[in-house]
Structure 1
Amino acid sequence: MAAESALTVTGLRKAFGDEFELSGIDVTVGTDEIVALLGPSGCGKTTALRCIAGVETPDAGRIEAGGKLVQGEGVSLPPEQRDIGMVYQNYAIWPHKTVYGNVVFPLEHAEHDVPADRYEERVEEILDLVEIGDLKDSPATDLSGGQQQRVALARSLVHDPELLLLDEPLSNLDKGLRKHMRYELQRLQHEIDVSMLYVTHDQEEAFYLADRILVMRDGEVVERGEPRELYNRPTSPFTRRFVGDRNRFIGRITTNAEGESLVETDFATFPLASADFVAERLEDAPATCFVRPADISIGRFGGEHGGVLEFAGTVVAEGLLDERYEVTVDLGGTKLIVHTGNGREFERGESVPIYFEPGDVQVYAGDE
């Protein structure tokens, strides 16, 4: 019977002198699930992955893979005994070997259930699965970046592990190939029912691939949840800054003579009740506000006012960004980024009106 969780990590700690500490990380990856560790460079996500893989020894913590204890309580199994596949950022392809030589390596050196007389057949199966079966006898030095990535995937899957660890596997590919490989990873995961722990700093990859996301900062998990939940209404201001395109500005929660709570910023004052307030209600306290570029419109508001916030600003930057047109508007000290698809072009120095609904502003207590 398969284990309920492909991976359970409890209290994982790893210190590097006084410079950095991975402090008490808990991670669970369910059967046939993709979980992403998302965070900026240096937050500890790769260190956590290396400890799980067995190539780094943690200072404390318990790690179970496929229901088997692999780290903790006097146990520290080497990587080849953990039934885990690993794809590194740089692919770690041996240049002196052929594609076959690279992919067969785990069958020759790791514990698994594939009999020796099926090695070649198994390698061919997995190469066909990642769609490079015709490259079986090619030298690794002849491969493109995308092909090397597929070889690394094939090598990590050939011994049929229950869990696959991926460390920024798409970061060395160009944008178009990254998009294609995101789809390929999702396809592979569904076809072979392998669980994945996916490390990335790229929020687009994490939100596309993952069933759940753990957001990391300075060696800690600051928030965890499903992608839609984290994107729409995170509880941590750090997550709000890191996830998605967001304008951030600082304000203060005050109370007027009528007892109404207000949010005061450098360029606007609006009722707290009309905003999306993600905290307990406070009085006379700093606040951090966020609004999406897509929720801001350029042009004069044409309907009844109804509490809509409308301002005049100056265009200080503009240009195409992917399939969007991005405009940065200075409101006299506070700059807001606007995404518009109306096809109109703006010039730097041009005066423009912008507006947005207070309900599109998310307000957090504190000025983090």
Structure 2
Amino acid sequence: MESNPKPEAADADADAPIAELRDASKHYGAVVAVEGLNLSIRRGEFLSFLGPSGCGKTTALRMLAGFESPTAGEVLLDGLRVNDVPPHRRPVNMVFQHYALFPHLTVAQNIAYGLRQRRPRPPRAEIDRAVDQALETVRLPGLGARRIWEMSGGQQQRVALARAIVNQPKLLLLDEPMAALDKKLRRDMQIELQTLQRSLGITFILVTHDQEEALSMSDRICLMRSGRIVQIGGPRALYDQPANRYVADFVGKSNFFPGRVTAASPGRTDLAVAGGLQIAGQASAALAVGAAATASLRPEQIALNRAGPGDGIPVTVVNRIFLGEHTEYLVRNAGLGEFLVLASRQAEAAAGAFDPGDEAQASWPDGAALILADD
């Protein structure tokens, strides 16, 4: 068995990654959970593994935690190989989806549990001080004597976080910790997690299937599919510059119009799509004239108006969903078929709202589309 990673290794190079996956794979017999993962995790960043169920994101997290050993490749913490180091000997803590709190213990006893397992055990006064500080950090001061079943869902999540941070881990791993919370509480906890991560300076790694959660919280997102990493980047980069249709479809909403390239030059590619229409935009990769490709247009890039012919393409409003700050319209064009339009309250105040069955004109800025090579 390998030795425990040494805390002082992190001080050797502040720019060195806190953790790495090098060609890491995990197979369960003939089943491939993840394959050839290469990822360098920066010190102090908030990274999210994003993807649908079964894409391998939780397996990647469990390899970092030590609950799974890679079938091939390496897991490194502070530059040291930890493939065979058990979870309790890694400077890593994990917050599980259902928190895994002990119902028979008080809040303070739950938080102190990890400290009490250390050998030699810290003095009682030191443990009490650390627990009180953790409760202050997660904004639960004075609640150490409460029972777990007396706490709300949001408070239980904070207790789980306090139990994780009291050990001062180098990595804090979050396995869909907000899946059981209602929407408003989930949003509040997202803000609290961001604030907590920035104040502590600990590297947070989140697993989620919720793209809105990943976009709103992360410094970087690692998007996965079928056990492999598809694209790594900041939230804005994944949203504005997806590598392919899968990324554009998974990160936010998008309309896709397949066609063939009719012209290609630096900074602009023209695509002939159904109905004799041309859509222009920036290509995500070099495309030759005649190549099959797909134009991606975000719903918020498209405007609806009642102007006459020549101001866009004619559409019929099929459905309308009021979302508060926006209204989402499903519209149909004879050539393009059905697609989504997202209208802000300001846009509707200027142009007026539309009802199902209304005729309208849909338009978007020239060159606004992203032209994606077929996967």
**Does TM, scored on the shorter chain, surpass 0.5?**
yes
Assess, with a 3 A threshold, how the Cα gap between structure 1 residues 217 and 152 changes in structure 2: closer, same or farther.
same
> Is the Cα–Cα contact under 8 Å of residues 248 and 254 in structure 2 kept in the other structure?
yes
Counterpart of 2:219 in structure 1 is 211
Q: Which residue of 1 aligns with 2:331?
A: 329
User: What is the SS of the residue equivalent to 2:272?
Assistant: strand
For structure 2, the residue ranges without an aligned partner over 5 or more in a row are 1-7
Which residue is 1:289 aligned to?
Answer: 295
Please report how far the alpha carbon of residue 322 of structure 1 lies from its aligned counterpart in structure 2 after TM superposition: 4.4
**Are the aligned partners of 1:251 and 1:288 in contact in 2 as well (CA < 8 Å)?**
yes
Query: 1: distance between equivalents of 2:283 and 2:263?
Result: 15
How far apart, in 1, do the equivalents of 2:260 and 2:118 lie?
A: 59
Give the conservation status (yes or no) of the 8 Å contact 1:63–1:70. Answer: yes
What amino acid is aligned across from residue 65 of structure 2 in structure 1? A
Greater mean deviation of Cα atoms: 58-67 or 160-169: 58-67
What SS does the aligned partner of 1:12 have? strand
Distance between the aligned counterparts of 1:245 and 1:228, measured in 2? 14
Q: State the match for 1:125 in structure 2.
A: 133
Over 3 Å counting, the alpha-carbon distance change for 1:114 and 1:358 in structure 2 is farther
The equivalent of 2:151 in structure 1 is: 143
- Distance in 1 separating the partners of 2:154 and 2:340: 34
How far apart, CA to CA, are the structure 2 residues paired with 1:207 and 1:215?
11
Given the superposition, is the C-alpha separation of residues 261 and 241 from structure 1 closer, same or farther in structure 2, using an over 3 Å criterion?
Answer: closer
**SS of 1:21's equivalent?**
strand
**1:80/1:111 contact within 8 Å kept:** no
Residues 214-293 of structure 1 correspond to what in structure 2 (within 5 A)?
A: 214-254=222-262, 262-270=270-278, 274-293=280-299
> 1:175 corresponds to which residue?
183
Offset at residue 20 of structure 1 (A): 3.6
* Cα distance, 1:115 vs structure 2: 5.0
**Helix, strand or coil: the match of 1:327?**
strand
Is 1:152 paired with 2:160?
yes
Once residues 140 and 326 of structure 1 are traced to their aligned partners in structure 2, the CA distance between those partners, rounded to angstroms, is 41
Post-superposition offset of 1:133: 2.0
The answer on whether the counterparts of 1:114 and 1:159 sit within 8 Å (CA) in structure 2 is: no
Amino acid at match of 1:323: E
**Cα separation, partners in 2 of 1:108 and 1:161, compared to 1, 3 Å:** same
CA distance in 2, matches of 1:83, 1:56: 16
**In the alignment, what sits opposite 2:59?**
47
Taking structure 1 as the reference length, the TM-score comes to 0.89
Could you give the per-residue CA deviations for residues 217-258 of structure 1, whole angstroms, max 9, x where no partner exists?
1100011112222221122221111112211221122469xx
Q: Deviations over 1:309-362 (max 9, x none)?
A: x11111111011242111000113621111112143322222221111231111
Count of residues in correspondence between the two structures:
354
Deviation at 1:171, TM superposition (A): 1.7
* Paired AA for residue 210 in structure 1: S
Letter in 1 for 2:338: K
CA RMSD of aligned residues (A): 2.4
Q: State the partner residue of 2:342.
A: 339
Shift in CA distance, 297/126, structure 1 to aligned 2, threshold 3 Å:
same
Structure 2 SS opposite 1:358: coil
Distance verdict in 2 for CA 1:363–1:92, change over 3 Å? same
The whole-number CA distance in structure 2 between the counterparts of 1:244 and 1:113 is 48
Quick check: 1:12–1:26 contact (8 Å CA) kept in 2?
yes
Q: What are the superposed Cα offsets for residues 176-232 of structure 1, whole Å, 9 maximum, x if unpaired? A: 111111111111112111111111112222222222111111100011112222221
CA contact (8 A) 2:26 2:35 kept: yes
Question: Given that residues 223 and 236 in structure 1 are in contact (C-alpha distance below 8 angstroms), is that contact kept between their aligned partners in structure 2?
Answer: no
Q: Give SS of 1:348's match.
A: coil
Counterpart CA distance in 1 for 2:120 and 2:218 is: 27
Q: Which runs of 5+ in 1 are unaligned?
A: none
Name which of structure 1's ranges 167-176 and 151-160 shifts more when overlaid on structure 2.
167-176
Alignment-mate amino acid for residue 230 of structure 2: V
Report the CA distance between 1:284 and its aligned residue. Answer: 2.0
Q: Equivalents in 1 of 2:372, 2:205: separation in Å? A: 30
What's the % identity of the aligned pairs? 36
Match of 1:60 in 2: 72
Q: How far apart, CA to CA, are the structure 1 residues paired with 2:193 and 2:78?
A: 21
- Contact 1:36–1:206 at 8 Å: present in 2 too? yes
TM-score by length of 2: 0.88
- Deviation per CA, 1:141-161, whole angstroms, max 9, x where unpaired? 111110111011011111111
Letter in 2 for 1:340: A
Decide whether aligned partners of structure 1 residues 262 and 183 sit closer, same or farther in structure 2, where only a CA change above 3 A counts.
closer
Residue 278 of structure 1 aligns with an amino acid whose one-letter code is S
Deviation at 1:173, TM superposition (A): 1.1
**Cα separation, 2, equivalents of 1:63 and 1:261:** 41
- Counterpart Cα distance in 1 of 2:366 and 2:28: 45
Aligned residue number for residue 317 of structure 1: 319
Matched to 2:314, the amino acid is: A
**Structure 1 CA distance, aligned partners of 2:75 and 2:171?**
13
